[in-house]
Amino acid sequence: MAEYTPSELLALVNASQVSAGDERVRAITARIVADLFRTIEAFQVTPNEFWSTMQWLTRLGQADMVGLITAGLGFDRLLDILEEEADQAAARAQGTPRAIEGPLYVAGAPSAQREVRLDEGNEGKGEVLVMEGRVLDLDGKPVPHASVDVWHCNELGRYSHFDPAQPDYNLRRRIETDADGNYRFRSFLPPGYAIPPDSPVSELFALLGRHGNRPAHIHFLVSGGGKRALTTQVNIPGDTFLDDDFAFATRDGLIVSLEKVERSTEYASLGVTGPFTHVRFDFVLQDALNDAEAVAASRYAAATA
């Protein structure tokens, strides 16, 4: 019926239309398809290479690992950088720096007021950690009854929910700060994270000659008082991957200081008297420009709201 050159085919694909559709989706799709056509031509990608890649994408989705690849190829950090550039242009780049959510957040963790043991059921694993601080606004005023969602990996570097060996919400909690914005929790210093071996993600990383390690970190989703919700992570100092994170997500302002405490009676309600590692860290929230900014939602929930 019709014979096309590659560029004629591309023009036809991108021009094809029977209803309005969505202009933005049409334009972005057209660009991506054009870039892929060109890539296939430029590298003389073979049918076997193309179809094995499509099969890899299918396996990636089936393994629920799309979010690992986006992090590993820098997209998550890119989105943060662009948001920050927009903040800077609007003269609102202040407060605690954001850091990527990553693909391993789970909403609905058990909540507690002011303090909690994150490590319930994990006694004796790792070095005892007590982390505490306040949620503040840009003026340094406390945000009362703020919500601090916290999650980290287990002693093997794996996250509950994504690891069938762990109980539901293991090492995941939500803390409501007291009237002075205070939160505190007991847990253990988590190790770093590594992408699962023998997975679609590790296959690509092997072909790229890349490692898939993240330095030790703890995730937070902080909100309250109508302030702008903050998604961030803190890093534990001394990790060899601090400046070589496979997800490019570590930041200068987010490396906490560790204080070794031999004995203290201050944390008896958390079952700790010492020795333990103490971390103090305040979360400083920006003002929200609208209601949507104030809502603490995971990236998927926020995107589909």
Residues lying near ligand MBD in the complex (CB under 6 A) are found at 68, 71, 100, 102-104, 193, 214, 247, 249
| Residue sitting closest to ligand MBD (CB) | 102
Contact flag: residue 215 with Fe ion (CB under 5 A): no
Over the range 112-132, which residues count as b (16 or more CB within 10 Å of their CB) and which as e?
A: eebbbbbbbebeebbebbbbb
| Beta strand pairing call for 128-137 and 182-188 | antiparallel
Instruction: At 81, give phi and psi (nearest 5°).
Output: -60, -45
Q: How far apart are CA 206 and CA 77, in angstroms?
A: 22
Q: Which is nearer to Fe ion, 14 or 122 (CB)?
A: 122
Q: Which is nearer to ligand MBD, 95 or 192 (CB)?
A: 192
Give Cα 65 distance to the centre of its chain: 13
Give the one entry of Fe ion, ligand MBD, none that residue 181 binds, where binding means its C-beta sits below a cut-off of 5 to 8 angstroms depending on kind: none
Tell how many helices (H) and how many strands (E) occur in the chain.
8, 13
Give the one entry of Fe ion, ligand MBD, none that residue 249 binds, where binding means its C-beta sits below a cut-off of 5 to 8 angstroms depending on kind: ligand MBD
The least distance separating ligand MBD from the CB of residue 159, rounded to whole angstroms, comes to: 6
The least distance separating ligand MBD from the CB of residue 172, rounded to whole angstroms, comes to: 12
- Helix axis angle, 23-42 to 6-15, nearest 10°: 170
**Best CA proximity match to 73, nearest among 241, 166, 210:** 210
Give the one entry of Fe ion, ligand MBD, none that residue 100 binds, where binding means its C-beta sits below a cut-off of 5 to 8 angstroms depending on kind: ligand MBD
The least distance separating Fe ion from the CB of residue 249, rounded to whole angstroms, comes to: 8
Give the one entry of ligand MBD, Fe ion, none that residue 71 binds, where binding means its C-beta sits below a cut-off of 5 to 8 angstroms depending on kind: ligand MBD
Q: Select the residue interacting with Fe ion from 67, 95, 102, 224 (CB under 5 A).
A: 102
Contact positions toward Fe ion, by CB under 5 A? Answer: 102
